[in-house]
Amino acid sequence: MSKKYIFGVFLFAYHLVGFTAEPTSKPNIIVVMADDMGWGDSATYGNKTIKTPNLDKLAKQGVKFTQGYSSAGVCSPARSSILTGRTPYRNGVWRHLSGNGETHLRTSEITYPTLFKKAGYTTGHFGKWHLLSKNQFNKEGFPHPDSHGFDYWFATQNNAIPSHKNPNNFIRNHKPVGELKGYSAPLVADEAINWIEEGRDKTKPFIMSVWFHEPHKPIATDIKFSELYPNETKKNKTYFGNISQMDHALGKIMKVLDEQSLSENTLIMFTSDNGPVVSVGGDSGGLRGFKRNDFEGGIRVPFLVRWPGHITADTENDTPIIGTDIFTTILNVAGIEVPKDRTIDGVNFLPALDGQKLKRTTPLFWRTHVSPAEDRVAMRIDDWKIVGNDTLTEFMLFNVQKDWQEQNDLAKTMPEKLNSMKAKLLETWADIKSEGPNQWWEAETQPPMKGSKLNY
């Protein structure tokens, strides 16, 4: 039996042989993101120790992408790409926004919550934001979540302070909240749940982002989660428990969706902003590199999608997808037109669930300003990945479909393939630079990483 997409303002049945959907209300959408969670930091992706029953459940009820990527090896750029569908240097958030500076997500960018709000959705953001510099957060004259389409927001500028325990730096709709008792992920989940149950406009479908702080340091873990790992070192108890703490918070949200009879009409996506930090216990699952790298360990992340009745449950898919694709995919799901007045790098990835090859105008591309010099830039096309240094003068070539640990550099043995990939990489970078606010990174005063010539 042939499969059909039913596009428009109503839901479309997808990837279910023999499934026919009657038009119903528009879907609710939740985009969940962990902070510094590696590809190997969950039972869902093969970790033999860490307990993640709710992520396991999400995967069982949906699809697990085994080659899902963030758009950068660090935080802020990856987040900006999800909201805009545009690679970070194109949308302007080219670096992580931990200190003082000019960089922020500009209002000239079109974010998906803005588009969903115009289409009749109610919108909410919960958790980390990290799309303004430290000196700009909750200050007049700078764009905050409400400037980018969120009706309601509960957020921190960057990390939970002083740690995940009893954070005191949350802002709710421009008003400081003060110290909260408890741990960050459950607190974020409770705020999101309260909005689902009481705060939102129930006459409208909703879209919300839930961006947890866990397992980013400074880590603090409720003892009930660290005690799940009695035979581990103190560091591992804290880190593994921190992942379980976040998983528990996700489970709370999934539970309320069931209780409110919302699960069947809610699309959930779960991912991470970048790879793990090994010094605190993070695990890349055998991939080369970690956070800050443009090798796979810094950018390949968990990526789960659940939409009951619309995608086949308990399946795996090895199609390479990236954070920018979330933007285009959810707009397609809701029947909202993708902007045509600018370059949108992301594509709708749902056809991949039906075995179709995704057609990309812009290849998968990464540039991470705090990476080591040797892997500052990377690009993937089909099975092939080229990795370049900061000055784009030295290159490595990998077949990452076969060589997922990037152990076999083919640059010298396959010069023709290297040259074609190099030409496309240089073309892609030139195109991105031509649109981005290059004055921001060219004026950067932070010294280059050790061994690098460029600091962007």
154 lies in the same domain as 247:
yes
Question: How far from chain centre, in Å, is Cα 426?
Answer: 25
Q: Are 301 and 38 in contact (CB under 8 A)?
A: yes
pLDDT of 136: 96
End residue of a domain, out of 324, 354, 384:
354
Contacts (Cβ under 8 Å, ≥6 apart) of 167: 156, 160, 161, 179, 180, 184, 187, 213
Are residues 327 and 380 located together in one domain of the fold?
A: no
In a domain, 454, yes or no: no
My answer on whether 311 and 198 are in the same domain is yes
| Domain closes at, from 329, 354, 379 | 354
Whether 369 and 342 map to the same domain: the answer is no
The CATH number of the domain where 428 resides is what? 3.30.1120.10
**164 located within any domain:** yes
In a domain, 383, yes or no: yes
State the burial class of residue 178 (Cβ atoms within 10 Å of its Cβ: 0-12, 13-18, 19+).
exposed
Structural domain of 102: 28-354
Distance of alpha carbon 332 from alpha carbon 85, whole angstroms: 13
Domain membership flag for residue 216? yes
130 is catalytic: yes
Rg of the chain over CA atoms, in angstroms?
Answer: 21
pTM: 0.94
Shared-domain flag, residues 425 and 291: no
* DSSP secondary structure letters along 53-107: HHHHHHHHTSEEETTEE-SSSSHHHHHHHHHHSS-HHHHS--S---SSSS-B--T
**What pLDDT is stored for residue 161 in this prediction?**
97
Looking at residue 99, its pLDDT comes to: 84
Provide the token pair at 247. Answer: 């998983």
Contact in structure between 68 and 321 (CB atoms under 8 Å): yes
Backbone angles phi, psi at 280, to 5 degrees: -100, 0
- Is 174 tagged catalytic? no
Residue 202 is assigned to a structural domain of this protein = yes
Q: How many domains does the chain have?
A: 2
Residues 93 and 208 occupy one common structural domain = yes
Give the Cα separation of 369 and 72 in Å (integer): 9
Catalytic residue among 75, 164, 213, 248: 75
Per-run averaged pLDDT (10 residues), the chain, 456 residues: 34 34 71 98 98 98 98 98 98 94 96 98 98 94 97 97 98 98 98 97 97 98 98 97 98 98 98 97 98 98 97 97 98 97 98 94 98 98 98 98 98 98 98 96 92 96
Domain end point (choices 354, 380, 410): 354
Query: Which residue is catalytic, options 130, 144, 148, 216?
Result: 130
Exposure b/e, 188-202, CB count within 10 A at least 16 = b: bbbbbbebbeebbee
Residues 62 and 203 in one domain: yes
Any idea which residue has 């400081």 for tokens?
Answer: 176
Nearest-angstrom CA–CA distance, 283 and 306: 24
Residue with tokens 């999400």, as numbered in its chain: 58
Q: What CATH number has the domain bearing residue 54?
A: 3.40.720.10
The answer to whether position 201 is within a domain reads yes
Task: Note whether 241 and 382 are same-domain residues.
Answer: no
**Token digits of residue 334:** 């809701």
Looking at residue 25, its pLDDT comes to 80
- Strand partners for 191: none
Within-domain flag for 451: no
- Listed in sequence order, the DSSP H helices in 266-392 are 296-299, 324-334
State whether 283 and 391 are in the same domain: no
350 and 436 both lie in a single domain? no
Q: Both 423 and 286 in a single domain?
A: no
Is residue 20 domain-resident?
A: no
Are both 416 and 318 inside the same structural domain?
Answer: no
